Amino acid sequence: MRILTIMGTPHKGNTRAITDLFLKEFEDGNNSFDEIVLPNDFNKICFGCANCILKGEDKCPHYNEVNPLIKKIENADLIIMATPVFVGSCSSGLKTLLDHLAYMWLVHRPKESMFNKVGLIITTAGGSYVKQTVKLLKTNFSFLGVPRVYNYGITTMKMGGNYSDYKDKDKIKKRIHKKANKVKKALINNKVGFKTKFLYNLFKMTQKNGWNKIDVDYWKEKGWLDGKRPY
């Protein structure tokens, strides 16, 4: 099993500590681990030029920098997005990467490999907006075609700390163990559910008379407009 962690910050605080606990749960098998740390591994701000959508992803001004990261995402079986809550949302580093994946959304040119993955969202906050940040990342996973997404969010009421400082650290470990087992089961028996199928079929209808030629040609080339499916 190939596990990719996308860390929204290089800071080794709450989010890093919780993520490491999850990763330990997957050390009991023939799993390989890879990691992207943002913004260290990618710090290019999306210009909003829409070249990736309108002209092709290779026309993105940051294609050479972002494409190796996209290959890592495509090769993973489990994708972990981990981020602290920054000003009511995910970290700017993670948002920057997600902005560069716009062309991969179901409404444009989704990748077949995304339909076979499991997603895990890890979010920590010193205060509020855990639920809102989880919702944002779930939306990104869903529109990238990832069918099974799990999340673990925790409000620590402490900034820059470590879970080991908390009185309920044993409860945290138990919850993580329970959640990790659900993720493991999903990886063994991953199914494309109703929501993913609904979104796919919805955008399939829009592509039949699509406004963006490069998207329409992509769907035609894949055979998706003629009955084939990416899952």
Average pLDDT over residues 13-23: 93
Kind of pairing between the strands at 2-7 and 32-37: parallel
Q: Are 164 and 17 in contact (CB under 8 A)?
A: yes
Cis peptide bond upstream of 61, omega within 30:
no
Indicate the pLDDT class of residue 164, thresholds 50, 70 and 90.
low
- pLDDT for the residue numbered 162: 61
- pLDDT for the residue numbered 218: 98
Q: What residues does 150 pair with on adjacent strands?
A: 120
Indicate the pLDDT class of residue 42, thresholds 50, 70 and 90.
very high
* CA neighbours closer than 13 Å in the CB half-sphere of residue 122: 27
**Residue with the two structure tokens 């993973």:** 76
Average pLDDT over residues 160-174: 71
Q: What does the pLDDT look like over 176-228, one tens digit per residue?
A: 999 999 999 999 998 999 999 999 999 999 999 999 999 999 999 999 999 99
Indicate the pLDDT class of residue 38, thresholds 50, 70 and 90.
very high
CATH top class, domain 2-191: alpha beta
Predicted TM-score (pTM) of this structure: 0.94
Q: What are phi and psi of 151, to 5 degrees?
A: -145, 150
Phi-psi bin for 160: left (phi > 0), alpha (psi -120 to 50), beta? left
Average pLDDT over residues 22-27: 96
Tell me which residue of 49, 50, 56, 52 sits closest to 221, measured CA to CA: 56
Buried residues in 130-144 as b, exposed as e (16+ CB within 10 A) = beebbebbbebbbbb
Average pLDDT over residues 120-124: 97
